Homo-oligomer: A and B are copies of this chain.
Amino acid sequence: MRAKQTSFDIAYRAGVSQSTVSRALRNSPLVNEETRRRVQEIAKELNYKVDRNASSLRTQLSGTIALLLFEDPTNDDSLINPFFLSMLGSITRASAKKGYDLLVSFQQMSNDWHADFEDTRKADGIILLGYGDYTDYEEKLVQLIKQETHFVRWGADVKGLSVVSVGCDNFDGGYQVTEHVIKNNRQHFAFLGGVSTGSPEFLDRYTGHCQALKDNNLKVDSNLQIDAISTDESGYQAAKQLIAKGIKFDAICTASDLIAIGAMRAIQEAGYNVPGDVAIAGFDDIATACSTSPALTTAKQDTVLAGEILVDKLLQLVSGEEAHTQLMPATLVVRKSCGS
């Protein structure tokens, strides 16, 4: 039972050649219906499985997608950002749906990831995932392109390079949320999230936020914008800084749910009521957002859809088709943290 079965073993039992076995199992039309059935039956009986290494070596196709998850170097927490964890889940599902295996790998930006996966033939294509300014690794993207590696990435469009990016309309998301809060009669807005530094996503969200304020004749006070990375703790600290400034505010928009959650904690600890005294809005719609108290109003990024789109586009590239950058809508999810 244990000595591994090969296609030759099947061939022997079926009284045909190895070629025929291979064809029969791949449902080649070249092989007779009757023969095919017999071969497949025997293969099943002997519990034969095609050796993927041999198969991949021969076909130069691995049936595998690699997912490279970049760690946020500013965050030494050993846990993964729940938004990306959710993306990971949906990408796993999406690739399974397409019959592809998923190879998951954490990477430091600084590593040699740009050369690895497809050149080793471990994967047919690569999905790049992670917050961060792509200028951090633009040269590596250039190299990927030069190598003709098939890849797609999550994030904002990369100008000047023919890279397929799938990202959320962060500007619009920021705009929508802010507008919603304005409608709840808030006038003095703070914004928590790294803008000058770091991810273009956060910047876009902030830009959308500011535009909504302007369109509603509200003032943008840059003193009320405080940098934060996407962690609970960073949001907490930023909110404390904000309070310490002593400037009046009745609403906080944030660049991510985690920031919002941390901020909410700080605000409540300081004795304010949410949303009574201060409205707080998030971004992402992570699972936790439903469970905060009050539940978090936020801009949802549809990770399930995003995962499917990323996988679809990548497989298009793999099969030689064209694929293009796509912007996904962000949708406002109204809960309790900003009033009705």
Q: Which residues of A contact B (CB under 8 A)?
A: 1-2, 4, 47, 49-54, 56-57, 62, 64, 69, 78-80, 82, 85-86, 88-90, 92-93, 96, 101-106, 115-116, 119-122, 146-148, 232, 261, 265, 287-288, 290-293, 304
Least distance between A139 CB and chain B CB atoms (Å): 14
Least distance between A35 CB and chain B CB atoms (Å): 23
Further 16 A-B residue pairs, CB within 8 A, beyond A79-B287, A82-B82, A104-B104: A2-B148, A47-B119, A49-B115, A51-B120, A52-B121, A53-B56, A54-B57, A64-B103, A78-B90, A78-B93, A79-B86, A85-B86, A88-B88, A93-B106, A101-B105, A265-B291
Q: Which residues of B contact A292 (CB under 8 A)?
A: 291-293
- Per the bound structure, the CA–CA distance linking A316 and B282 in Å amounts to 45
Given contacts A53-B56, A85-B89, whether A291 and B290 have CB atoms under 8 Å apart is no
How many copies altogether?
A: 2
A50, A287, A290, A304 pick with most chain B CB within 10 angstroms: A287
Q: Which residues of B contact A261 (CB under 8 A)?
A: 291
Given contacts A4-B119, A52-B121, A146-B1, whether A96 and B86 have CB atoms under 8 Å apart is no
**Partner of A122 from B47, B80, B101, B265 at Cβ < 8 Å:** B101
B89 touches A53 (CB 8 A): no
Q: Which residues of B contact A4 (CB under 8 A)?
A: 119
- Per the bound structure, the CA–CA distance linking A78 and B4 in Å amounts to 37
A232 touches B147 (CB 8 A): no
B147 touches A287 (CB 8 A): no
Q: Which residues of B contact A96 (CB under 8 A)?
A: 105-106
Q: Which residues of B contact A79 (CB under 8 A)?
A: 86, 89, 287
B52 touches A291 (CB 8 A): no
- Per the bound structure, the CA–CA distance linking A101 and B62 in Å amounts to 14
A103 touches B103 (CB 8 A): yes
